[in-house]
Amino acid sequence: MLGEKSGKMELTAVILAAGKGTRMKSRLPKVLHKVAGRPMLDFVLEAVEQAGASRIIAVVGHGGEEVATAVGNRAEIVWQREQLGTGHALLQAREALAGHEGDILVLPGDVPLVRGETLRSFWQAHRQKGAAATVLTTELEDPTGYGRIVRDAEGRLRRIVEHKDATPAEREIKEVNTGIYCFRPVVFQVLPKIRPDNVQKEYYLTDAVDLLLQEGLEVACFKGENPEEFLGINDRRQLAEAEGIIRRRVAEKLMEAGVTILAPALTFIDPGVQVGADTIIYPFTFLEGETTVGEGCVIGPWSRLKDAVLGREVVIEGGTVVIGARLEDGAKAGPFAYLRPGTVLRSGARVGTFVEVKNSVVGPESKVPHLSYIGDAEIGAKVNVGAGTITCNYDGERKWPTVIEDFAFIGSNTNLVAPVRVGRGAYIGAGSTITKDVPPEALGIARSRQVNIPDWVKRKRR
């Protein structure tokens, strides 16, 4: 029977992610454009998971293979081969939802700001009303481009009219359709009846709402209190606006947890980043990916950390880049250091100005203060590496390791040609090119004898 109520508590989410996003002017599918370091679709998936959806279906079309790859195993994939509108998109999920008796949450894939708790409250209100459909609405000061909510004298929903099809009077309405709905499965009985009788010649999902109303079924509205949650991303300006909102949310949450962010509007922290209390973050710092920062650290300014792990009381001086590296308690890097993947700074280690470290361990309390390259090396405890030192780790075909044991001293402008080992407590004379192992407590020198030629300058001038 049309409109028969279901007692099922199961919620299935259908994410409409087939659109091209023409105004983005990009070959990349719109829902894969990144906001705060993650595809916007990822935020939508996370929100419906938090709302309690036990099953998620993503309707893909333009760039569908890329979208399906990004979704992975988080959702089932349904194809909309021709992008003929939102009503047509939902209709493509009919076969996948055959026999489904629970509620269906339908939302676009370009609303990365919507919160899981908002969607859950929306779903609960839909169930309490027992409606055939519920529309999530909000009020906007500037509703341009959004479908308007037209109500009757008693405040009940009469219809939804798209902006391009609205009369001048209807365009004055500030309550808008967010494009998010809860339906009972009865929606699939009316979807085939939709006709593209509009300016765009598309099958609007809003027309399904009108058809349900014509059948005498109840369609409710649920008004979202925070309009920014429902910002749809249609162009690069809106993408930047969403980016700012998400980063503001992240900064506010961290500051509430005891992190000092000196200039939140000038600090860029991804949602997946964790930062301990009493850490101070200076302006123009980027914390990206799965970065984890311990308590009492100091970071920035002008630094970038991506997938980095910092212990307690770590100092990252200005202009330093840390990617895929781990710094233990009390370590220090910068200014203007570059720590690449595989780098580990043990407790109290220090890497200074214009030092690059790759796939290497710098031992406890060891120092590489300035102007050096350390690659594929293992440096022990309390080692001093002089300015201009290079581990020559690549022979043109293979990478080779360098080992510097505890308490060794490496003089300035040294080349360590790997594979090579410098023994415990050994010294290397400045300006040496070391190609053989240096025994413990030995002095290694590898440079030609100095020759001074008297009066050479005078003779050259003559």
Which one of 62, 88, 126, 370 is the catalytic residue?
Answer: 370
Asked whether residue 246 is domain-assigned, the answer is: no
- pLDDT at position 1: 41
Residue pair 160/187 in contact by the 8 Å Cβ criterion: no
Is 55 among the annotated ligand-binding positions? Answer: no
146 and 222, same domain (yes or no): yes
| Shared-domain flag, residues 32 and 125 | yes
Is 174 known as a binding-site position?
no
Active site residue 370: yes
pLDDT number for residue 96: 96
The amino acid present at 389, given as its one-letter code, is T
pLDDT tens column, 423-432: 999 999 999 9
- State the DSSP code for 450: P
Q: What CATH number is attached to the domain comprising 23?
A: 3.90.550.10
Give yes or no: residues 288 and 397 share one domain. Answer: yes
CATH number at residue 429: 2.160.10.10
337 with 425, same domain?
Answer: yes
According to the model, what pLDDT value does residue 201 have?
79
The predicted model scores a pTM of 0.89
- The annotation status of 430 as a binding-site residue, yes or no, is yes
* pLDDT (0 to 100) of residue 112: 97
What pLDDT is stored for residue 6 in this prediction? Answer: 47
Number of domains in the chain: 2
Per the annotation, does 162 bind a ligand?
Answer: yes
* 208 and 90 both lie in a single domain: yes
> Would 282 be classed as within a structural domain?
yes
Residue 244 belongs to some domain of the structure: no
Residues 214 and 307 in one domain: no
Query: Is 164 known as a binding-site position?
Result: no
Q: Are 366 and 346 in contact (CB under 8 A)?
A: yes
Please name the residues in contact with 161: beta carbons below 8 A apart, sequence gap of 6 or more.
147, 148, 150, 167, 170, 206
Considering the domain architecture, whether residues 92 and 126 belong to the same structural domain is answered as: yes
388 marked as binding residue: no
Q: Which amino acid makes up residue 404? A: I
d(CA 276, CA 113): 25
Q: Are residues 266 and 152 in the same domain?
A: no
Whole-number Å distance between alpha carbons of 110 and 89: 15
Please give the distance of CA 290 from its chain centroid, rounded to a whole number: 9
Residue 234 marked as a ligand binder: yes
Packing angle of the helix pair 40-51, 236-256 (nearest 10 deg): 50
Are both 275 and 200 inside the same structural domain?
no
Q: Are 351 and 345 in contact (CB under 8 A)?
A: yes
Task: Let me know how long the chain is.
Answer: 462
The answer to whether 346 and 328 are in contact (CB under 8 A) is: yes
Three-state secondary structure along 289-331?
CCCEECCCCEECCCCEEECCEECCCCEECCCCEEECCEECCCC
Instruction: Summarize pLDDT for 105-148 with one digit per residue, the tens.
Output: 999 999 999 999 999 999 999 999 999 999 999 999 999 888 99
What is the rounded CA–CA span in Å between residue 310 and residue 325? Answer: 8
Same domain, 409 and 360: yes
Say yes or no: 318 and 388 in one domain: yes
- 136, part of any domain: yes
Residue 449 lies in a domain: no
pLDDT score at 37 = 94
Please indicate, yes or no, if residue 6 is contained in any of the structural domains: no
Residue 224 located in a structural domain: yes
Examine the domain organization and report whether 53 and 120 are in the same domain.
Answer: yes
Residue 3 lies in a domain: no
Q: Which residues form the domain of 274?
A: 256-444
What is the model's pLDDT at position 4?
Answer: 46
Q: Which residues of the chain have pLDDT under 70?
A: 1-8, 198-199
